[in-house]
Amino acid sequence: MYKFRLPEGTQDYLPDSLYNKKKIQEKIMSVFRNNAYQKIQTPKLEYYDVFTSGVGAVPDNKLFKLTDTDGSLLVLRADMTLPIARIVSTKMQLDFPLRLCYLADSFNFITERNRMREFTQAGIELYGVPGPEGDAEVIALAIKALLSAGLTDFQIEIGQVDILKGLLHQANIPEDKQKEIISAVDKKNFIDADIDPEVAKTIDKITMLYGDITVLKEAGELVHNKTSVDALLWLFEVRQILAEYNLEQYISFDLGLVNSFSYYSGVVFKGITRHFGAPILGGGRYDKLCQAFNRNIPATGFAIGIRDLMQALEESGGYQQEKTTPDLVIGVADSYTALGASRKIADNAIEKGLVVDLLYKTNKELTKLYSQKKNIDNILFVNSQGKIEEDLN
């Protein structure tokens, strides 16, 4: 029967797991706040057109669809970047740089490997900083966010979609073929489209380059069009800034990284770790996204998958799950006097910062057994006269 099951791609969080989830989220959001990013919230429901028109259109089969009372089509938001672009373009005073952050649930109708259909993300959006320093800022905060959560064994892989776009444009490849090639590159497949073999060979060489700064130098010997060369120079600048921030050890370059989201227009990056089988973080530049809302605002950002990060932390052993164990258990005898006295004792302990667990209608022996079962060291018992009995330990 369905009432005993969860829909595919969803998850319950029991108290201890939820407690640790909240702690990780708080650490990440603290990094964002300390860097002047202001939290923003959007509704879970959006109009269908928000996600299906313009540069950032999401494939229709990935959207949860609902019908409103007036017959209009609604969707559960598929990500936060598009709704925030809507808000920035239509409701906010554009004093740049504009720094926004979020912690929110989004939804994907399709179940994918290592991906949930309902998922929590923490992320940032930086508007109005059009140069490499903007990309370097968000990559630096991605690194600091992962470190703050307790993950140390990871890499941020960085690419630039204009390297590939420049090659495709130089070869005069039609738009439909370009999409086919970009899709193949995104899946790390060799190019088998009907194009010049030498062009395909160059694309394969470029998109298979992965590693440190030396791959940028190798790519520089293979590309000669202005778009691709400028994209490589952009990556050199981002790398130089991150080196100045002493974060170079956390980055590498993947020139085959183009990202599956259509709205990325420059630098793209993802966070990977050997402790999880898919990226735990993704982001990049999307300068044309606000055009869907009749604005032209440069932007860059990223999102961290909270559940993915939790699993990576558990697997790495670098993070110990904490139990939500109370500090004090108070056994309460079966009387109104005991109830009143125990409430006063509990409130006094709570004011001092303790977490108190009350056990009603009990006796000393059951209180001891209860505390042992819950691994609570501090025990009090309030008898029927409202007096504390001290001989439990």
Residue 287: what pLDDT? 94
Q: Where are the alpha helices (DSSP H) in 92-225?
A: 132-149, 161-170, 175-186, 197-207, 214-220
Residue 56: what pLDDT? 77
Neighbour count for residue 152 (Cβ, 10 Å): 11
For residue 118, the cross-strand partners are 107
Q: pLDDT tens-digit profile of 124-174?
A: 999 999 999 999 999 999 999 999 999 999 999 999 999 988 888 888 888
How many whole angstroms separate alpha carbon 307 and alpha carbon 283?
Answer: 17
Neighbour count for residue 160 (Cβ, 10 Å): 32
How many whole angstroms separate alpha carbon 36 and alpha carbon 30?
Answer: 10
**pLDDT greater at residue 166 or residue 39:** 39
Q: Where are the alpha helices (DSSP H) in 11-109?
A: 15-34, 48-52, 81-91
Report domain extents, the chain: 2-316, 328-389
User: What is the pLDDT of the chain when averaged over all its residues?
Assistant: 91
Superfamily of segment(s) 2-316: Bira Bifunctional Protein; Domain 2 (3.30.930.10)
Residue 353: what pLDDT? 94
Residue found under tokens 């109708």? 109
Phi, psi torsion values for 121, nearest 5 degrees: -130, 145
Paired tokens of 89 = 């373009």
Phi, psi torsion values for 330, nearest 5 degrees: -120, 115
Q: Which of 8-22, 64-78, 247-261, 349-363 has the lowest mean pLDDT?
A: 247-261
- pLDDT confidence bin for 37, thresholds 50/70/90: very high
Residue 327: what pLDDT? 94
Does residue 325 have a pLDDT over 70? Answer: yes
Task: Give SS3 for 65.
Answer: strand
